[in-house]
Structure 1
Amino acid sequence: MVKKKIYQIKNLKMLWFSTPKWAHWFLLPIFIFLIFSAYNFFFWNKIFPGIYVAGVSIGGKTLKEAETILSQATLPPKEISLTYQDQVFNIPTQDLGVVTDYQESVEGAYNFDRQGNLISSLYQRALAPVRKVYLGLVINLDEEFLDNTLGVIAEEISQDPVYPSAKLVQGEVMVDRGTPGSILDSKAAKDTIKENLSFSKKETIYLTVKNIDPTINEAEAENLKTRAESLLGKKLILTSPQEVFEWKEVKIFETLDPLGGYKKEAIASEVSKIASSLNREPQNPTFIFEEGRVKEFAPAEDGLKVRQEKLVEEILEALLNLERQEESELTLEIPLERTPPKISTGDVNNLGIKELIGKGSSNFRGSIANRVYNIGHASSKFKGILIPPGQVFSFNEALGDVSSLTGYKQAFVIKDGKTVLGDGGGVCQVSSTFFRAALAAGLPIVERRAHSYRVSYYEQGYPPGLDATVYAPTTDLKVLNDTPGHILIQPIFDPKAMTLNFEFYGTSDGRVAKTTKPVVTGVTPPPEDLYVDDPTLPAGQIKQIDFKAWGAKVTFDYTVERGGEVIYEKTFLSNFRPWQAVFLRGVGPTP
């Protein structure tokens, strides 16, 4: 056998040397191609040699083998240790939410020599047996938590610089030349943390800071003082139809750039405040009807928007002029962009608001104070709203955001199958009353949803099924104005009588709305009361957090006729679930 192989090799040599030299140039590339093809075929489902992930060699391994090796050989540290001078900050890795994606890490290693252009890829594969490539693990973490943590550390180690400024002290200009400071290099810290996690490094990370030196020299300070003194007793007046803003020397000093000119960012910040004060949305004319007559009327108003960029440039130019000239003041008119309302005051007589076309009422006796407040606050959003003919009106759109930020208080709401305290409890009293007014006006109801369970407030003087729940953005109440004219909405909130009314004014086209008496079927009793042990309450104390309600299916028919002809009809179904009373039972220590 050995002799046979030696004979074959000799034959190959003879073939090579007996072949003309010019043919070698054709055989050599073929020979290299065959070797390289065999090499690539061997690694077709394996990672090429010389690949390390987090310091662990996985060359020659299949993806599954490499994933197993890495998951056993690499573990993230229990905490990240950061140090700056004599301060040490430890961040538990668990708090960072660190998750290692071994599958993606291995796929990245596998594709390292298989991506990019063909020449580059072949070159890397050729080098694979003799090179070493070090890759990191793919790490996912809570970026927001890391940023917040570094922000806290920055407050600990950073030294805020003091920027040069001119100030007025007892009528005399004083210049502060500034003080150097430093700030944590958060980006470098974040990058290093990620790198250490990616490469399973456990060493301490030394934090670095960026030095900030805003100080000015004596000559620059003297120049700043001279400029500030030239502004003493001077002021810039910014005028608008609504308000006048005066910039006296103290405010102007804040915009002075110590190196010349004025700080555009500081001016832009002040202009933003002016815009917040002056900007407004266009307002349609509003009315209040009483006894068929307009008692109050507010004319239409254009929307206003400060042209901030233009105003900043004009202020920059004005301040330079004020500094150079002898006059003690300059006046600028604030540039405003006006947007006309959809309905002008002159259109009022053409709106078709002539008479009461529908009214809805509800009572809310027994409501807690916050719920009563929310009902009044929410209903005020609808005062004087005009619905043009042919428009679908969205209750949620008119209501706007419901949260503590928009003035709502905590009261009971239905959320995730429970009655809980939440911002805006009571808003559905408003939507239910609006729904009843729309029915009375004979308007098509485009969208309406009943509550999950029967609520006593909506059945005070009314049968069940005449309610409407809203919850933006998923649950809305929508009605169509298919009358000949605009519809004016007027809420009437009476906290003493505990009543809410909605009145719709417009043009009657002779339509008559009829609703049948709601039919209640499938009545089911509520489940047994549920008691939940609560260690935060003293032993023996009971606190009710949810209230029982009977389940039922309620239907009623809604028909709108005009001249003896049915122009709209709809059957409304409310499927109320039986609701369980829930009590918290104290098991904690007795005070």
Structure 2
Amino acid sequence: MKSSPETPSAVAEPAAEEPDAVPEPAGSRAKVRWLVAGGVVVVLASAMAASGVYAMAGDIPRGTEVLGIDLGGKSRAEAAVLVGAEAATRSTRPVRINVDGREVTLQATAVGLMIDVPATIDAAVGSGPRLFGSRRLPPVVRLDEKKLEGALRKQIPGGRISKKKPGIAFAGVAPVAAYPQAGLDLDRGVAADSVRAAWPVGDVAVVPLVERTPVTTKAQVDELIAGLAKPAVAAPVTVTVGAVKFQLTPAAIAKGLVFRSDADGRLTPAIDAVKLRAAAAREFAKAETPAQQAKISLAGGAPKIVASTPGKVVELGDELLAVLPKPAPRTITATLKDTPASGTDAELARLGIKERVSTFTTYFTGGAKSPRSQNIITIAKAVDGAIVKPGQTFSLNGHTGERGYHNGYKDAPVIVNGVLEPGVAGGASQFTTTLFNAAYYAGLQDVEHKPHSFYFSRYPAVIESTIFYPTLDLKFKNTTPYGILIDTATTGRSVTVSMWGTRIYDSVKTVYGPRRNHTSPPTVHREDGPKCLTSSGLPGFTQDAWRVIRKDGREVERKKFTWRYDPEPRFVCGEEE
């Protein structure tokens, strides 16, 4: 068929040929795969390295929390500031404890509770890296386990603790056993761990009683009695110290040999040197020399430090314990150990006692040999040389103890329930008044004093004080930055108290107001007898007195003292006619 000129023929053009394929070298496809994989590894390694750098930035790993504080990325110093501030706010937080079902609250300071900031930071630094999330670390908490145990035991009702510790005591020289018994008890370690965990986060620490069995058994207690306690007191022990020999009697050994039971009920024998020395004081004194404390002497009218000298004491312990199970005769050789004086010369020098800052004298009648005068002299000697350190409060009753016949005091007139009658240590109030005035004019702080109920003309009105053991005391506080030495002196008609230290005030004076509210003395008839003391009577009145202290040219204190004196009755012995 002829093709139409209008219709082109449908002849297909040949397809373009693809270029010849280049043959692929062996292994090249694997190489491409490795290149791709290697790229991924490099990317991952780079990402991991970047993550590691992020996680370990600073001294403390990211995501580390302590006490609710994010420490991640912080330096040690930065973390210590943050944790320290938070620990300070929590240090005043009391700890609540449920001990054996009973909730109690203890002050943190009472049991030594504290957050150890340096140890807490060390734990945070060593906690290891963390890429995701956070890690809450507990703070390191310190406490005094013995104090905690003691405080908790006071809160446990009697009878709840059924565990019995073993023990051996002496009745005279006869050993007496206390046998152990398993039962409920407080576990110190459990209690401490519970408090450490609960206190920092404000939770209640739960401390149950647990079943415990003492370590030492009944048979072991019997062995200790047979092998040590009985032979220990069967005979004396001779102690040789150089050329000196002395003996420890069975009675003294029984006082010094103790058997201590710890929290686990483990019974251990020991020598209590303090108890042994007290029981055999005269024997030890044959070989020992007591230490002489440094003191201040006022010879020549000026304070001078007299140096301390060390003492020598007999040292006993394991060697005595080792010989006690043996039969008589028993001997040991002991050595002398130097023991320093408790106060040093340098400590005294730092007190700055260099001049007299006040002095006060009161007068009495009867001569030095009257019972009342003797009491004044006795108490003055007891106080002479006392030192009151800065910030310390001096108590006259605390310093002298009970004033009785045993330490040289005699019967003399005292006021008892508003009545004059003989009593031991009568006259001590005159010394008290003298001491009070010396402290008053030294500018020391009045802590406790009470004037007499009746006025006596030998004392300054209002500015005076009585004393009665143990209910009435004289106390004053050294509020100066220097030490105070109390110097006393007596004659047959006077007692003087001087305060030595460093003068810090220009002057201390008393300004009196007028006497008011006068009352007349009544006449009182008393039953005649040895307790009845007559008196002519004195009027009563009220008066004010101001202590005025000046320093650096200006008034720094004006303190008011007020007292109302009762009228002293005119006491008459015998019935009214």
Question: TM-score with structure 1 length normalisation?
Answer: 0.47
- Of structures 1 and 2, the larger Rg is shown by 2
Instruction: Tell me the TM-score normalized by structure 2.
Output: 0.48
Which of the pair is proportionally richer in helix? 1
